[in-house]
């Protein structure tokens, strides 16, 4: 079996995979990072979104072999030194989650939206940018609020840093 060498949440990993193993399978089954979820089989739901080299990707849509040498961040790797990422905090503050299943993908997508679109996001932009993530619980209302608040909080954190 081929081996993939990659960095996941800052840790170097070397994992034997099948040629057809998906990144999400590598994360969930081989590394037991079960925060990244699988909600569909057609790359529609976004529950599996992680960051690969700083960009949001659906980890069900990449082969593990494609991420050889990459830096991968999952939901488990967002909090640093016991401090939640501002977007995680914003989802809690704004009740942006209910069952929690879509939440990791939502948070990873939300951070990517801020990285691409900046810290002052209006409702229209957020709703438009969330087209790759499905939530069945919240009606998106509080997710939209959470992302707007998280985006602002990311700015203040960046300024403080």
CB of 103 to another protein, least distance (A): 5
DSSP output for 87-136: HHHHHHHTT--SS-SSHHHHHHHHHHHHHHH-S---HHHHHHHGGG---S
Is residue 144 part of the contact set for another protein (CB under 8 A)?
A: yes
Is residue 52 part of the contact set for another protein (CB under 8 A)?
A: no
Segment near another protein (CB under 8 A); pick from 62-70, 74-82, 114-122, 151-159: 74-82
Q: Which stretch of DSSP H or E encloses residue 153?
A: helix 141-160
Is residue 18 part of the contact set for another protein (CB under 8 A)?
A: yes
Is residue 81 part of the contact set for another protein (CB under 8 A)?
A: no
Euclidean distance between CA atoms 74 and 51, whole angstroms: 7
Residue nearer to another protein on the CB measure, 138 or 151: 138
């Amino acid at each position: 079996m081929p081996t993939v060498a990659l960095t996941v949440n800052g840790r170097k990993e070397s994992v034997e995979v099948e040629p057809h193993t998906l990144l999400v399978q590598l994360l969930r089954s081989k590394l037991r990072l079960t925060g990244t979820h699988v909600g569909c089989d057609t790359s529609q739901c976004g529950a599996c979104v992680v960051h690969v080299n700083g960009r949001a990707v659906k980890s069900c849509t990449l082969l593990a072999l494609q991420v050889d040498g990459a830096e991968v961040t999952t939901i488990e790797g967002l909090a640093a030194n016991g401090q939640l990422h501002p977007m995680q905090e914003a989802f809690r503050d704004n009740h942006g989650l209910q069952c929690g299943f879509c939440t990791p993908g939502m948070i990873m997508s939300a951070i990517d939206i801020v990285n691409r679109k900046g810290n002052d996001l209006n409702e229209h932009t957020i709703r438009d940018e969330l087209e790759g993530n499905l939530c069945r619980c919240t009606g998106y209302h509080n997710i939209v609020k959470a992302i707007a608040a998280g985006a602002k909080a990311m700015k203040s954190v960046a300024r403080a840093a």
